[in-house]
Structure 1
Amino acid sequence: MSDKDVLLSMGFDTARVEWALKATGGRGLQPAMDFILENEGKPVPDLSAVSSSRQATPSGGGGDAVDEDEDDAEALRAVYGTGAAGQAAAAADVEAKSIKCSECGKIFRNTALANYHAEKSGHDQFEESTEEVKPLTEEEKKQRLADLKERMAAKRAAKAKVEAKEQQANEAIRRRAGRDLNVLREELQAKEVLKEAEAKRKEKLDDAKARAAIKAQIEADKKARAEKAAREKALREGRTYPEAAAPVAPAPAASAPTGTAGKDYPQTRLQIRLASGGQPYTTTLSSDATLREVAEYLAGQTLSVDVETVTFAQHFPRKTFSQSDFERSLRDLGLTPSAVLIAS
């Protein structure tokens, strides 16, 4: 018995059966029945305009539902049609009206039902029987159909519940992974903020030390100029300038402590200004770096500076560095721990 005959024997309208079979691409009894049930109450369209594109995913639950309910479809076939195997058995032996399971005593109308029972129960002992299985009445068929619908609905509900739990578990995993990633990102940002704050604090401390050193140097220069002016005035007036008040070479004496103290600093922070004006350049170099490396750094920052012709000067203490000083280290030139240079 074909799928169409089974559906018609179940009481479905011929037009709806043909619509379902065409819409599902002839995939079988179960997809066609699902299609009829889901489209119940809808008008039957012109079959020439109906496409079988639903073949990949039959109406009423997708491809998994077809695999899941394959047993139900076989049961429907067994209920509403005898099948080729049953007809052959009936023709071969007129006296055998049923098949009986020797293990449980159940009787079956045909071999299709007996095979279905064997697959489900695992029983393998059957014998022919003269007992006749009365055909199902219309009410019994309707009841069987209702039971099958209920079983299929229960299966789909259980599957939907499992899928919902899996989706909820996956969502929880995704959220937890997102939270862990956010925590890691926040920790990295916090470390960057602390690192930046520490760098700024150190820079401010170095600036304060540099300003203190420059201020001390300015005071020493003022004192040296005042003593020089007093000594020159005494010489003009023919007086003798007190030796204790007239130290020899005050400027080098003032700069010597700075150079000595600079030996304790492994790095030197430089601020380089161009004599032509513009934005100053700030960098930190090793105290053992030469003045030539400073010139090369500056040449890399601006095209207006040539390493071979540039000269550097310092306001406090006032001093000019020539090309002969380019091979001396910043430590030896007394520029540590920080200094301001004018490039021209």
Structure 2
Amino acid sequence: MANDKEALMGMGFDAARVEWALKATGNRGLQPAMDHLFENEGKPIPDLSAVSESASRPANAMDVDDDEDAEALKTLGLKANDIEAKSIKCSECGKVFRNTAVAQFHAEKSGHDQFEESTEEIKPLTEEEKKEKLAELRQKMIEKREKKAIEDAKEQKVSETIRRKAGKDMGQIKEDMEKRQAMKDAEQKKKDKIDDARARAAIKAQIEADKKTRAEKFAREKALRHGQEIVDAPASAPVASASTAAPTGVAGKDFKETRLQIRMSTGGQPYTTTLPSESPLREVAEFLAGQLLTVDVETISFAQHFPRKAFTKSDFSKSLRELGLTPSAVLIATPPGP
């Protein structure tokens, strides 16, 4: 038994599977154990304590007195009336088996269910046959390992192809995301630049307005100190400076835009804006209403100190060019009285 186990393990069979084969075949030798191993290749190993040793009885006199062997023979389609039977033969394929256990394994694997008792005695293998069987088993094991290695290589190649494709797809997705982010950053940078330019322009306009306010205040204080008449010289200054700054030979009608400074008669900081010269005076009222919630477009009135002129409601529909306010002017806005 020990030699059979070592021989089978030397062929590359698992120790637990060898013990199962030896026990299932009743330790009848190397040949039955090898038959069992091939018949049950790939099947899970059962609990060895539950494996029957019914095959341990002599093969030249089949004992069918107990219920277990009778049931096995009945399953195989045999009759328990010939105690001189030395083997069991498959009527469908012609294979001969030593005992009912091996025949049962053959029936489970092949699906054959027609068996008959046989007086043919299965002779034990000679030393030469054992060597040939061992060589055959080793060759089968080598072929099986080579086949498994080829299948593993194919599976690995497929897995590598899938992995590379997935990596390529992820790389493309990452590249697209980076491009979209770069475009988004460029748009945001452009918007920030425009906002900064507008903010600087607003600050510059506020500084200019503050300068004009301080100049007006200084002129008033100087006139009071010297007892002179207070005039709105600073208010008329932008018009004069704008007129003198206009290029030679360019008439007011040729200016496409008009810059206005609007001062409230009630005091406070002036407001500046630039409108198309063809805009009606009403747009100036609408601009002022957008700056001050207290201003009503329908009730506000405008006047000009230099040259002195008051604008009526009928002038609201006239353009800034028609009213002689181009290219720049200072307007005094007066809300209605209480």
Whichever of the two has the greater Rg, that structure is 2
TM-score, normalised with respect to structure 1: 0.45
TM-score, normalised with respect to structure 2: 0.46
